[in-house]
């Protein structure tokens, strides 16, 4: 089982979404990608951003640090239906 800090060692200075070099970054709410704040801004404008944040918080409360992000979780829900 990986801990949240495992994500950070993957950071190499490049946004994993738009591949731009950036000094500051954060985790995507929709995937496990590490993204720049431009990409994060775009993410936050998605209508389902709030749902993604809630789902992420629930996963952390469950201790589910392998939570794949909202897009993957949604996809897996759709797969089982
Ligand atoms: Zn980016």
In angstroms, what is the span from residue 75 Cα to ligand 1's centroid?
Answer: 22
Spacing, Cα 60 to ligand 1 middle (Å): 24
Buried b / exposed e over 6-45, threshold 16 CB at 10 Å, is eeeeeeeeebbbeeeebeebebbbbbbbbbbeebbeebee
Per-residue pLDDT of 13-63, as tens digits, reads 999 999 999 999 998 999 889 999 999 999 999 999 999 999 989 988 999
pLDDT at 12 over 60: yes
pLDDT for the residue 15: 96
**What is the 28 CA–ligand 1 centroid distance (Å)?**
10
80 CA distance to ligand 1 centroid (A)?
Answer: 31
Q: Which two tokens stand for residue 55?
A: 């789902």
Interatomic CA distance for residues 69 and 43, integer angstroms: 12
Range of the domain at 56: 5-80
The model's pTM is: 0.72
Report residues near ion ligand 1: CB below 5 Å.
15, 17-18, 35-36, 39
């Amino acid at each position: 089982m990986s801990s949240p800090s495992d994500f950070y060692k993957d950071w190499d200075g490049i946004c994993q979404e738009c591949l731009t070099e950036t000094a500051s970054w954060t985790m995507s709410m929709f995937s496990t990608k590490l993204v720049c704040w431009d990409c994060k801004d775009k993410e936050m404008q998605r209508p389902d951003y709030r749902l993604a944040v809630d789902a992420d918080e629930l996963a952390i409360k469950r201790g589910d640090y392998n939570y794949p992000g909202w897009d993957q979780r949604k996809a897996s829900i759709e797969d089982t239906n």
